[in-house]
Each structure stands twice: as structure tokens, then as C-alpha cells.
Structure 1
Amino acid sequence: MRKDPLKLKPRAKLPEMLHMAQLHYHLAPAGVRVVMENTIDSMLSFEKKRKISIFVLASAWAAPKPDDLKIRSDFKKLKNAEVRIIDIPEIDYDSKQYKSREKFLERAKKLKEKIVKQLPLEKCSAKSPFILHCHGLPLGKNPALNYAIKLLAEQCERMKTPLWILNQVHDFAENGRPEMLLTLQYCTGKRDETFAAEIMYPNTRNIFYATINSRDAENLRTAGISEKRIFFLPNSIDTGFFSGKAITSKKKFKKQLIEEIRDYSMRSKYFFNPKRKIILSPLKCMRRKNNAESILLLKAFNYLDDKFQLIITLDAHSGPDVKYSRKVRRFVRQEGIPVVIGVGTDVTSSSEERGKYAGKVTKFSIVDLFAVSKAVMTTSMIEGFGFAFHEGWITGTPVIGRKIHYVCRDFERNGLKLGHMYKKLFVDVQWVGNCEKRLFKIFFNDVNELRKKQEMKALAKKKMLREINRTKYYRVKGSKCVDFKELSIEMQLEAIREIFKDEKNVKKFLSLNPSVGRMLKMLQKKPAELVRHNRKIVMKKYSLRAKAKRLRHIYAIGTANYLKKVKDKKIDNRKVIDKYLDLDYIHPLAMGK
């Protein structure tokens, strides 16, 4: 991967007229749409001297007009800028398995032609090419789109058409998404791993890649993409929005917000006390967010200083996550734990604007919720980026919780100080009944099922046991322990009950995890210097201005090099598949346990 573009001195220059498009399956409110909106916003806000034409190619049912996008820049008032949404329904999710290779190729060719017709290539030139910035294609949620983009790149290379492609990776089908990987491998009606890899990672000279973290760049290199064709492009934070003044600085609005949270809690049968201090978890209640861990931490904090309550802003909406959330909600209600789940949808606006009617606030901003909280807590075990690691610092709120190594190492290289967060939260295996037998059964069955789907030999019981002992168990202060995130949801809730059933267990848990005490001190007294430092880093390295600078370098380098020959490597993602079948990357929660 090339160096962070923020650290590069400008060599290549962007043309005065910039023609580009953002492409994604759809524009439904989700993380990728936010990334696209921030990309557009950063270019319009910080490239005002340049003429910019931005197309948004997607199945646009969720945002048919440019005004539907959350873009802070008023592009209608900018003389040199235009934003257009091009609705292409065929781009949306489509996991259809075609009866034959010919049928699949026919579909992809038609889609390629439909995309080409929407691009103003006649206005472009070799020195001012069209930039097609694609999002999320390696996930393969529409294999025909993958192949259409590959065909487009090959056609443009062959005909020397002024167009190059930036494939921005947000996640991998190989990483715990077996159904998506199989959809790609069987998209032509017959299993073809080589074809699947080639449409997931097209590798013509006019295709470059961008990743939001360094681990993803390693995956691309492993699959055969040249390091010189991979750019580091972390997500950005709308620092202007999160720096805005919270209206809860006024007592009447703070009182109103607290009362609305209380009313929601009473209706939803949660336990909320207006006098308790709030710990905010701005996450959805879902498996990969590992929310039960935040409940364990809350109980530990309250054992030491009984003053806190937890708000998890969003509830789950689909699939196995609804089942997971139901178990968490039932647990906190049965145990009488001061936790509120899903209040964000009820009291905060879905946009950046507060809701107002007849001079009164009807919906608060998420910034207002940050302002009434003592800390932001994240317990996610899987993230591509993790906005929760950044947003709190901008609002002046410390961030505590679990540190995801492969994500946070990039943040720490850029200057964020996260030493107070923990990498593992240890629990004694004795706190979960038959812990080792239950975990062995989960891993043996599920890992071998994943291996079977990839036509790999099953692991024998002895080898599986060795792998589990190598990757899942730790000897800590004389006790055999497991990281809390490695337990199924039933085992997690069982562990919480067992720990707090006996004061000796609580004290042992605190001894195994000294980070709990460190984080409590941050709740009791705000670490002003740490907040100031990390706020400065986020503002400098992860703002829209920083994103604009990164994009300027990436677009300029791509424009200067898209016609140059490269030494192609054979694309093969087998090692990436193997990597994510290692037990280091497999967790019961992620598998729906």
C-alpha cells in the first residue's frame, strides 16, 4: 500500500475539470452511503476553484434526487459544480444464480452498456479522464455488476478510452460471509473459483484500489493486487457537525432530553434513572457490536461506583441480529440493569438537523446525546473503520471500551492515544458451565461446515482442539481464561450472572482486567488533556478537509498513471479465504451463536 496521501508531497496535479462518479448498489441509509456523501462533500467544499461534475450511479429508490443526499455543501449555489443521481435499478443487490455462463455474461454485458451510456466520456480526454469511484464490489452482492465493471475496464484499456476506476473496499466476502462468497463462486451456474476471484479483484492497468485500513490492503496484496495500486483512504468524520454546540448546554433542553429518554424507557420497560450518569454506546444492538460486553462493563463500574447507566442508541432490524437483540433486551429487563436500548430512533433526528415544531424541539441531534454523556463506549469486535472511535473526542467526550487491533493500529500511527482501552476482556472459564466443551462443539461444527462449503478437508478433533487452545485460551494470573467476545451470547449472559453472583468473582474479574479501573477513573474525572489531544488528531487526520487532501492525491496519481503498463500478477484469493478460516478470525457471535 502506498503511504497515507496526507503524508505525500503533491507531484501529480488534478485537471481543472473533474468528471467523476460514485457507484454503489443502492443509496439506502447506511455506512457506505455516508462515505459517499462525505466524499462528495469533501470535494465540493475544498476544491471550489475546480470545475467538478459528480454523478451518483445506483439503484436510487432511497434517494432519487440530489437533495435527498446529506451534503453540507450547497452545491446548487456553486457555479463550478454539479451533482446528478443516475438511477440504474440493475445495480442493486442481485444474488441470482444463472443457468449458464452465457446467460450470466449476457446480463453483465447489458449492464456494462447501460453504465457506459450514462457517462459523459465525450467530454473527457487522456489528461482529464473520467474517474469511476466504486464502493463495496468485492462483497459481490451483485456478481453481474462485478463482471460489468471488469468488462468496462478492459474495454477502456483496449480502446484507450479516458476512464479509470477506483475500487474502494469496505469489506470482504471471504471474511465471515460464506453465502456471498458462494454466490460469486456459483454465479455462472457452475462453481468457478478462478472466475469469482477475477471479478472480485479485476486487475487491468486502469483499476486502482482504496482501503479504509491497512489490514484490508494486506488482503488485496495477498490476492495479487500490486502494492503500488493500493491507496490508504480511511473514512472521514463530519467534524463541523460534531463540533456544533449542543442545545443541552441549556438546562431546559437538557431536562427535556432526559425526560424523553425516561418516557421511552418506561414505555419500553427499561430501567432509567435521571440522576444516574450516562455512558453512551452509539452502536446498533447486533452481534458484531458485542453489546453484552458493554453490560458487563457497566455492572463492573457500578460495583465500584454505583452511579452509571448505559444507553445503546439503536436496535437491530433484521435476521439473526434481531434474535440476538431480543436476548440482550430480555436479560437487562429480567436483571433490572440500568440499560436503555433503541432510544436513538425515538429521541434523535435521523438527519443532522434537529426536529422543530411551533418553536419547540421535537427531535434532538445526536450531538445533544453525546453532550449529556460521561463517555462513549464501544465494544465492537469487528469493524472496517469504527466511527465510535472518533466522534466522541470531537464532542469533548472520552471514548472507552475495546480496542480492535487491526483498526486501531492505523489510528495510533496517526497519533490517537488509545492506551486506556483494552484488547481483551478476560473471564475465567469456570464462570461458564462446561465452557470448554461447549466452545469445542461450536468451533468443531461451524468451522468444518465453513471448510466444507469451500471444498476443504475437515479438521480432525485433535487438531481442532490444538487450534482452539492456541487461539482462544489464555493463562492469566494462574487462571485459564477466555476473551469475553469469544463466547456465544448465552455463554456471555451466563458469565455476567456468575461473576456478579459472588463478590469474590467480581474482585477476580477486576484483577484480571485492570483496564476496568482505568476507564472508571475517566468516568469519574474527565481526562481533559487526553480529550484535547485526541480531538486535535481527529480534526487534523479524519476531517472532510483531510479526506479532500487524500482524494486529491489519489485522483491525481491515478490520472497520471492509468495508462501505464503494470506487471500483472495472477489473481488468486485462496490465501485470503484460508486466512479467514483460521480460528483467529472466527467468533461464535459472528456465526449467530
Structure 2
Amino acid sequence: MKKIVFIHYHLRTGGVTTVLRQQIEALKDVCQMLLLTGEPPEISFSVEVVHIPGLGYFDGSSDQGFKPEEVAESVIRAVKYKFKGKCDLIHVHNPVLAKNVNFLSILRHLQKKGIRLFLHVHDFAEDGRPLFYYKKDEYPADSHYGVINSRDYEILSGAGLKKEGLHLIPNIVDCFGGCLPEVAASNIALYPVRGIRRKNIGEAILLSIFFKHNENLAVTLPPASPLDVESYSGWKDFVRENRLNVQFEAGLQKSFPELVQSARFIITTSITEGFGFSFLEPWMSKKVVWGRKLPGICDGFEDNGIDLGHLYTKLLVPVNWIGRKNLYRRFKAAMMKNINIYKSRIYSEKVAESCEKIVENENIDFGLLDESFQKDIIRRVLTDRKDAERLLLLNPYMAIPGDLPDDKRLLKNNLKVVKERYNIAAYKENLLKIYSTVVKSRVRQRINRDFLLKSFLNPEELSLLKWGDYVE
């Protein structure tokens, strides 16, 4: 049996904790495991959990931090106590987020002790998370990395990681554990998300204007962060003022499984995702997902046989509806602000060139715009029938929201692929194969951090919802 140690900053309820629990469940019969965390767990795990405070969140603003070498020694002691010796490898979750400013130093000390690391990246600080960005330290070299989607695999390949040292490890898709409630159908189009800015709530509201069966757009949960709350509250006010058929906080009134089962179809308009559950989970509930496709996330799904050809990649609107001058001014401000935060080597000339490229044939993608611009566009569509018709001419797919002529074939195919390719048995096989490679194969590789940042902070794909300030 392999001896595996997992490390994460905390074990709070959330995405990474769910993945950790699934990994432990998948490996319970074939590996000995130990879980190390920076905070006492909120919920129980089926393996031994050791709390090492120095692994938790630490921004360096106080004197309460632990010395990296001391934390590394605490890790080594916990491993020796559990296994009466060494482990085969340490599986580290989200190591490249500066949620602990000592974390990279801790990992370097573990490497110096000869410990094999598997660095499992769920999120990049470069992907619009400047508060969690390391600048002074390089990311760990000569270790194996794992990513959860094909976009990140391609980016890290371009940034210098080798095929033998970079592993694709898609998440398990197990919607509600297979326990689906029997509920009556309702006339809702469900957007099952927290209403954070990058979920592009405005686009879902725009689509709802064109629903054919008077569906009620239902957004499940409110956000938590102050900036997202401000944006979300603005959309609630906008919907109320314009008497739109939109329901917020639907998930506070009914259980999530009930909402999914009762929905006519599922909607997604997000401009960025990590793994992309929204493109897979609905099929498990025999629901069609409709809306915006994210090519970098969905490419891997489609390679595996998931049919997402009915989704759109852009929702075009005439740039003269919002004013080119205002657009460029706001775009440049957002880009230059982030260039300064990240201390990037992207130059102002490149930004100026990109302003021209984001406009195609006098149109711009709605998903690149901030809330203020989006509201202006929705008002036009609501008040001028000709503008609404023009929008449909630019985006014909908007005329058939959720209605697909071959939905039975689509449901059958995608349900079959999700069950076959994203189940716990397939995940276990992939994970064990990766572990064997990490244990047997040393790699010499390093991440080019400038390339990594430029892959995410790309002026030609910059969305003001993700990179810009909130504008009422």
C-alpha cells in the first residue's frame, strides 16, 4: 500500500475540501493516508487528521507566523509518527495561492528533505486573484504538478512543464450522490450559483427576456464577499425596478436537489470557471444545460465525448450601444491597474492595441462588459423592439433558449459520458497512475511565471467583470 499525505490550508466546507474527501474515499482500500491541515476540521474525515497551525492562512501582517523550516519539521514529525518512517509522497492542494506567505518556503524545505511532492492546482492567483499572488518566490521546481482542466494543462505546458511532470486530473462528478428527489416540475430556468461577479448574472438576466415559455430565471444563492454583494444587490434592484421575471436566493427557500429536479433547464453564463461542473452536473439530473460555453474549460469535456455544440461562446452586442470611448477608457483603466498590481511586463502599447481587437465588426462580447454597460444594454432591449430584434439577428441561438430539437439524444449521450468518464472508479485509476509516476519518475522542470501571468492577464480577453472595478 502506498503511504500518502494530503496537505491543505483548511478543511472548511467547499470545493477543495469536497475533492479531498472524494480522494480519500477513492483510495481508502489501497492506500494508507494522513491528512494535515492548518485549521481544526469543521467536519470529520475517515482518516487521521493532524492540525499544524503553520499550514493555515497567514498574510505576514503579524508576528504570529511560524518559521517555514519549523512548519516543515512539524510535517515530517507527523509523517514519521503515522507511518513509523517516510511516506511515498505528499499531495498538496492549491500550493500556488499565497494564502500563506510562507507556504512556498515550507514546500522547499520538504523538498530538501527528499520528500516527493504532487502539487494539485485548483486555482491560480494569476487568474484574477491578485490578493493571493506570490511575487518574491518562484513556484516549486522539479516537482510533479496536477491540474483540473485542459486550459490549465495547456498553459502550464507553455510555461515550461513537461508532459511527464504535468498531469490532468478532472474532478469526480457525483451530483447529489445519485440521490435525486421526486418533485413536481416547475417553470423555472435555474442558474445554480452564488451570485458573484464572474458568474455574469447580467447575461442570464438578458437571456431571460427571450425565454419562450415565460420561465422564471432562478439564481440559487447570494454571494459573501463585499464587492460581489454590492454587484449582486445592484442586480436585485435593477430586476425590481424593471419588473423582470427573475428570482434571487431560490436556494434559501428550497433544497438544491429539489430546485434542480423541478427546473425546465439549467443555465450558465459564467465568464470563468475552475473545473466546470456546470457543464457536466446537469446531465446527471437529466437536465439540459444552456448558455455560454468556455472553450478552454470545455475542450477536455468535448474531447471525452460530451456534446456541448448547442452552447454559444460569445454574445455579441453593438459597441455603439455603450460608446466606444467609454469602453476603451474603462478597459484601459482595468488593464493598467492589474498590470501594476501584478508588476507585469505587459506594456501600455500592447493594451492600446488590444482595445481595438476586442471590438469585432463593430460588436463586442457582452461577457467582457461590466454591470453598468450591461444594464444599459438590457434597458435598450426592454424599451426598443428593434434593438431586441437586432440582438436576435446577431445571436440567433437566443431565440431558442433551452429548447433543443434533439434534447433526448443530447441527454442520453451526455449522461452516458459523464457516468463513464467522471466516476469515482475512473478517478481512482487516474490518481493511482499519477502517484506511481510521481514516486518512480524524477522531473527537472520550472514554471515561467511571466508566461503564466500573461496567459491569464490577456488584454484581448479581459472581462471587466473579472478584472475591473464595480461600476453602478
Report the aligned-residue RMSD. Answer: 2.4
Counterpart residue number, 1:234: 170
CA distance in 2, matches of 1:552, 1:571: 25
C-alpha distance after superposition, 1:389-419 (max 9, x if no partner): 1111011111111000100001000100000
C-alpha distance after superposition, 1:215-267 (max 9, x if no partner): 2123323443322111110111115x35324231xxxxx4xxx9xxxxxxxxx
- TM-fit CA distance, 1:346: 3.7
* Counterparts of residues 25-40 of structure 1 (less than 5 Å): 25-40=9-24
Q: Which of 283, 292, 305 in structure 2 is aligned with 1:393?
A: 283
CA distance in 2, matches of 1:569, 1:553: 20
Q: Which of 414, 418, 421 in structure 1 is aligned with 2:308?
A: 418
Task: Kindly provide the amino acid, as one letter, of the partner of residue 300 in structure 1.
Answer: F
- TM-fit CA distance, 1:344: 1.1
Counterpart residue number, 2:459: 583
User: Residues 367 and 226 of structure 1: is their aligned pair in 2 closer, same or farther, counting only changes over 3 Å?
Assistant: same
- TM-fit CA distance, 1:53: 2.5
User: Residues 516 and 575 of structure 1: is their aligned pair in 2 closer, same or farther, counting only changes over 3 Å?
Assistant: same
User: Residues 97 and 221 of structure 1: is their aligned pair in 2 closer, same or farther, counting only changes over 3 Å?
Assistant: farther
CA distance in 2, matches of 1:43, 1:235: 14
Q: Which of 40, 44, 50 in structure 2 is aligned with 1:86?
A: 50
Counterpart residue number, 2:340: 452
Counterpart residue number, 1:6: none
CA distance in 1, matches of 2:408, 2:84: 51
CA distance in 2, matches of 1:245, 1:337: 30
* Counterparts of residues 290-305 of structure 1 (less than 5 Å): 290-301=200-211, 305=212
Q: SS at 1:500's partner residue?
A: helix
Matched, 1:135 2:100: no
Structure 1 window deviating more from structure 2 (25-34 vs 398-407): it is 25-34
CA distance in 2, matches of 1:122, 1:416: 42
- TM-fit CA distance, 1:62: 4.5
Which runs of 5 or more structure 1 residues have no equivalent in the other structure? 1-16, 67-74, 76-82, 157-162, 186-191, 249-253, 259-275, 349-365
Q: SS at 2:79's partner residue?
A: coil
CA distance in 2, matches of 1:443, 1:527: 39
Matched, 1:147 2:105: yes
CA distance in 2, matches of 1:342, 1:391: 20
User: Residues 455 and 283 of structure 1: is their aligned pair in 2 closer, same or farther, counting only changes over 3 Å?
Assistant: closer
CA distance in 2, matches of 1:25, 1:173: 15
Matched, 1:171 2:123: yes
- TM-fit CA distance, 1:512: 0.7
CA distance in 2, matches of 1:399, 1:122: 46
* Counterparts of residues 360-371 of structure 1 (less than 5 Å): 366-371=256-261
C-alpha distance after superposition, 1:440-493 (max 9, x if no partner): 111222212222344457855x754431111x1112xxxx11100111101101
Q: Which of 131, 136, 141 in structure 2 is aligned with 1:203?
A: 141
Q: Which of 244, 248, 253 in structure 1 is aligned with 2:179?
A: 244
Q: SS at 2:464's partner residue?
A: coil
- TM-fit CA distance, 1:429: 1.8
Counterpart residue number, 1:69: none
Q: SS at 1:551's partner residue?
A: helix
* Counterparts of residues 372-391 of structure 1 (less than 5 Å): 372-391=262-281
Task: Kindly provide the amino acid, as one letter, of the partner of residue 315 in structure 2.
Answer: L
CA distance in 2, matches of 1:144, 1:378: 37
Q: Which of 10, 20, 23 in structure 1 is aligned with 2:4?
A: 20
Counterpart residue number, 2:74: 114
CA distance in 1, matches of 2:299, 2:23: 23
CA distance in 2, matches of 1:122, 1:418: 46
User: 8 Å contact 1:242–1:367 — kept in the other structure?
Assistant: no
Counterpart residue number, 2:195: 285
Q: SS at 2:172's partner residue?
A: coil
Q: SS at 1:20's partner residue?
A: strand
User: Residues 41 and 391 of structure 1: is their aligned pair in 2 closer, same or farther, counting only changes over 3 Å?
Assistant: same
Q: SS at 1:132's partner residue?
A: strand
CA distance in 2, matches of 1:96, 1:172: 20
Counterpart residue number, 1:493: 375
Counterpart residue number, 2:60: 96
Q: Which of 426, 448, 468 in structure 2 is aligned with 1:572?
A: 448
Q: Which of 391, 402, 407 in structure 1 is aligned with 2:292?
A: 402
User: 8 Å contact 1:431–1:499 — kept in the other structure?
Assistant: no
C-alpha distance after superposition, 1:38-80 (max 9, x if no partner): 2112223xxx3x3x322221133452532xxxxxxxx5xxxxx
The TM-score with structure 1 as length reference comes to 0.74
CA distance in 1, matches of 2:334, 2:96: 24
CA distance in 2, matches of 1:343, 1:61: 32
Matched, 1:43 2:27: yes
Q: SS at 2:36's partner residue?
A: strand
- TM-fit CA distance, 1:97: 5.4
CA distance in 1, matches of 2:200, 2:314: 13
User: 8 Å contact 1:416–1:537 — kept in the other structure?
Assistant: yes
CA distance in 1, matches of 2:289, 2:432: 31
Q: Which runs of 4+ in 1 moved over 6 A?
A: none
How high is the sequence identity, in percent, across the aligned residues?
27
CA distance in 1, matches of 2:454, 2:409: 44
Counterpart residue number, 1:513: 395
User: Residues 202 and 399 of structure 1: is their aligned pair in 2 closer, same or farther, counting only changes over 3 Å?
Assistant: same
Task: Kindly provide the amino acid, as one letter, of the partner of residue 217 in structure 2.
Answer: L
- TM-fit CA distance, 1:502: 1.1
User: Residues 20 and 464 of structure 1: is their aligned pair in 2 closer, same or farther, counting only changes over 3 Å?
Assistant: closer
Structure 1 window deviating more from structure 2 (496-505 vs 510-519): it is 510-519
CA distance in 2, matches of 1:62, 1:500: 49
C-alpha distance after superposition, 1:265-286 (max 9, x if no partner): xxxxxxxxxxx61111111101
Task: Kindly provide the amino acid, as one letter, of the partner of residue 289 in structure 1.
Answer: K
Q: Which of 304, 327, 341 in structure 2 is aligned with 1:439?
A: 327
User: 8 Å contact 2:307–2:410 — kept in the other structure?
Assistant: yes
- TM-fit CA distance, 1:500: 2.0
User: Residues 463 and 36 of structure 1: is their aligned pair in 2 closer, same or farther, counting only changes over 3 Å?
Assistant: closer
- TM-fit CA distance, 1:497: 1.0
Matched, 1:542 2:438: no
- TM-fit CA distance, 1:318: 1.1
User: 8 Å contact 1:398–1:526 — kept in the other structure?
Assistant: no
User: Residues 338 and 455 of structure 1: is their aligned pair in 2 closer, same or farther, counting only changes over 3 Å?
Assistant: closer
- TM-fit CA distance, 1:430: 2.8
Task: Kindly provide the amino acid, as one letter, of the partner of residue 53 in structure 2.
Answer: P
Number of aligned residue pairs: 469
CA distance in 2, matches of 1:121, 1:560: 24
Q: SS at 1:427's partner residue?
A: strand
User: 8 Å contact 1:64–1:85 — kept in the other structure?
Assistant: no
C-alpha distance after superposition, 1:521-546 (max 9, x if no partner): 23xx7711110100001001111222
